[in-house]
């Protein structure tokens, strides 16, 4: 049981709704999320799609690439995100080698994101080479979001995280990948790290929504890694990232102040303490118990 909370006004974002958004010219917003608290924050902000990306390997685990991330790890984070989400559409990212070995393994893994992770769809990186697998997963009733252009799981084949489709021949290959993924039945397509005009050409050429990251303004939607958007990765400043907050700096300042106050004996003051033991015969209510009740009321599942 994943425990996703009911949508506030009965209108969760669905696969058909995302298709309609493209047809209506309504732009789609997507960010990555890896835990219930961030999921809740983005859901509250009205973000349409939460991607539990394998980027968690880099921003949560501190790895150099997404390659070490496992299916079990993404599913663990999916469950947390699903619990924090009411309205947004939750997508689980299929990590490196989770779909390439065999169609059976791909299908079994894809199914786990929905049945164990509480996601509503999976995403997988790949173009023409992935089309048959996408078709198989879609036929099993599992919505698939594609991902072409700069595909981080192919970092070694690409020789680094490099913009793709820069020459006419390379652009034709990316277009071909995008069409193959759409024809295989994917319901949406991430376009990562490609020239602006190529992203526009793909967006015009296929019926499913394109969601860009480093692909310019002409896609049907945009996605950012949430740690980048919130300014939690201070040493990274790729051209396509706009930081909408400086959480890292604010976090350092807050932690520094806390540590200064603890060292100076300022925190915790009486305001943050439970007072002294009452010197009477009758037993007073256990402070710890009411604290548990207060925490449940503040953070526990809402009815
Ligand atoms: O893993 C991820 O975060 C992604 C996005 C960058 C699209 O695939």
Q: Which CATH architecture has domain 15-229?
A: Alpha-Beta Barrel (3.20)
pLDDT at 1: 47
For ligand 1, mutation pick of 31, 32, 192 (most atoms within 8 Å of CB): 32
Residue nearest (by alpha carbon) to ligand 1 atom 6: 225
What is the pTM (predicted TM-score) of this model?
A: 0.90
Q: What is the pLDDT of residue 10?
A: 57
CB-count burial class (<10 Å; 0-12, 13-18, 19+) for 246: middle
Question: Which of 38, 50, 53 has most ligand 1 atoms within 8 Å of CB, for mutation?
Answer: 53
Tell whether ligand 1 has an atom less than 6 A from the beta carbon of residue 189: no
**Domain map of the chain by residue range?**
15-229
CA of 54 to the centre of ligand 1 (A): 6
State the DSSP string of 24-50: HTPPEEEEE--SHHHHHHHHHTT-SEE
Instruction: Give yes or no for a contact between 234 and 250, defined as CB atoms under 8 angstroms apart.
Output: no
Exposure of 154 by Cβ count < 10 A (0-12 exposed, 13-18 middle, 19+ buried)? middle
> What pLDDT score does 235 carry?
87
Measuring CA to CA, which residue among 141, 145, 110 is closest to residue 125? 145
Q: What is the radius of gyration, based on Cα positions, of the chain?
A: 22
Decide: 225 in ligand 1 pocket, CB within 6 A: yes
pLDDT tens string, the chain, 303 residues long: the values are 456 667 666 589 999 999 999 999 999 999 999 999 999 999 999 999 999 999 999 999 999 999 999 999 999 999 999 999 999 999 999 999 999 999 999 999 999 999 999 999 999 999 999 999 999 999 999 999 999 999 999 999 999 999 999 999 999 999 999 999 999 999 999 999 999 999 999 999 999 999 999 999 999 999 999 999 999 998 888 999 999 999 999 999 999 999 999 999 999 999 999 999 999 866 655 555 555 555 555 555 553
Distance 75 CA to ligand 1 centre (A): 15
CA distance 213 to 201: 15
- DSSP assignment letter at 146: E
Residue 54 beta carbon below 6 angstroms from any ligand 1 atom: yes
CB-based contact 141:104 (threshold 8 Å): no
């Amino acid at each position: 049981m994943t425990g996703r909370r009911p949508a506030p006004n009965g209108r969760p974002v669905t696969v058909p709704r995302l298709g309609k958004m493209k047809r209506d010219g309504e732009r789609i917003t997507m960010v990555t999320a890896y835990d219930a608290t961030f999921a809740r924050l983005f859901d509250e902000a009205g973000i349409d799609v939460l991607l539990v990306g394998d980027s968690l390997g880099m921003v949560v685990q501190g790895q150099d690439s997404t390659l070490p991330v496992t299916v079990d790890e993404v599913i663990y984070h999916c469950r947390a995100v699903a619990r924090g989400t009411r309205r947004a559409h939750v997508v689980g990212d299929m990590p490196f080698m989770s779909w390439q070995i065999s169609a059976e393994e791909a299908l079994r893994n894809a199914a786990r994101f929905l049945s164990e992770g509480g996601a509503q769809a999976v995403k997988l990186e790949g173009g023409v080479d992935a089309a048959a697998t996408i078709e198989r997963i879609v036929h099993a009733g599992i919505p698939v979001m594609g991902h072409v252009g700069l595909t981080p799981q192919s970092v070694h084949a690409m020789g680094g995280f490099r913009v793709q489709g820069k020459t006419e021949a390379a652009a034709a290959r990316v277009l071909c990948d995008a069409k193959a993924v759409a024809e295989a039945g994917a319901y949406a397509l991430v376009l990562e790290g490609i020239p602006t005009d190529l992203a526009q050409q793909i967006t015009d050429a296929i019926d499913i929504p394109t969601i860009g990251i480093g692909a310019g303004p002409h896609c049907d939607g945009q996605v950012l890694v949430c740690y980048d958007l919130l300014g939690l990765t201070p040493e990274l400043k790729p051209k396509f990232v706009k930081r909408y907050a400086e959480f890292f700096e604010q976090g350092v300042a807050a932690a520094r102040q806390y540590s200064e106050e603890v060292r100076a004996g300022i925190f915790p003051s009486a305001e943050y303490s439970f007072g002294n033991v009452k010197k009477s015969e009758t037993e007073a209510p256990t402070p710890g118990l009411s604290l548990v009740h207060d925490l449940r009321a503040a953070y526990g599942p809402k009815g």
